Chains A and B, each alone.
Chain A
Amino acid sequence: MFTALLIVHGLFAVALLGAITHQTASVWLPARKPAGSFAGRFRAVTAASYTNAIIALYVCTALLGAIIYPEFRVSIRGVLEELDVPAAMGAFELKEHFSVVGLAALPAYWYFWRQPLSEEHRRTRRALTAILAFITWWNFLVGHVVNNFRGYGG
């Protein structure tokens, strides 16, 4: 059951990673002209259209993470302590706290991305999006690496 939930958690995280990276690229590196290349088209998306999907994916990913967290605490954390890898433990502790900060930022993120977009709050939108992107990337990479210490289904 844990492995199934972990896989679903990972799939939600992958979808979230794609959506938030698209949105971040489009607000920080907007395409100036009709995009021809892959990178250009990646940046040329309509950023606002990702907002609700990002919120839903973030909440689902965090919820699944919260459900499987006790299993990590009981079995994987012990492995990390035996292997004496404090950096990995610290990175995972940061992941849990970062995910809560991201959850708390979602109401503001939703409000400042609602249509029609306000030019007055452009910087706030960009900053909130960057923070969520950083949290998502950190959590994805750390979760992936830390789980590898235990191995699949271990």
Chain B
Amino acid sequence: MTPPRPFAFLAIVFTVVYTVAYAVAVSQNYALFTYHPVPGTIGMGVEKVQDGPAMYWYGWMATAAIAAFGACLVACVVPERLAKRVGSGWSWIVPLGVLLFFAYLLRGYFLR
């Protein structure tokens, strides 16, 4: 199966926007929903702890997914001559940067 050439652009946009949006969602706690594993309930947005811990991880992923799919929709109408200018290197430079960002964000666990 050979994907169309613009798929490269969409793949790069998805990877870049998803990873950046996820990093922002985690650092600012923009969770689309909160899961409470003990009662097994889900609440929209960021909710405080109820019985047991509150889990935002799924909500952060959902927030990033909305941002990434939205960006891909916009990317679909970007002229091909502009899309071709975007280097494939962004698809690994940005994720690598986000990995380092998380290492920095969570440094407190390792520096106590």
Report A's interface with B, CB cutoff 8 A.
66, 69-71, 73-74, 77, 86-87, 89-91, 93-94, 96-98, 100-101, 104-105, 107-108, 110-112, 114, 120-121, 123-124, 127-128, 131, 134-135
Contact = CB atoms under 8 A, between A and B. Distances in A.
Given A66-B58, A98-B99, A112 B91 contact: yes
Contacts of B3: 111, 114
Given A70-B35, A70-B37, A131-B96, 17 more contacts: A74-B37, A86-B109, A94-B103, A100-B61, A101-B95, A105-B91, A105-B95, A107-B14, A107-B15, A108-B14, A108-B88, A111-B11, A120-B88, A124-B88, A124-B89, A127-B96, A131-B99
Contacts of A100: 22, 60-61, 64
Contacts, number: 102
A124 B7 CA distance: 15
B55 A70 contact: yes
A121 B103 CA distance: 28
A100 to B, nearest CB: 6
A107 B37 contact: no
Nearest to B97: A101
Chain B facing A: main interface SS: helix
A80 to B, nearest CB: 11
B34 interface: no
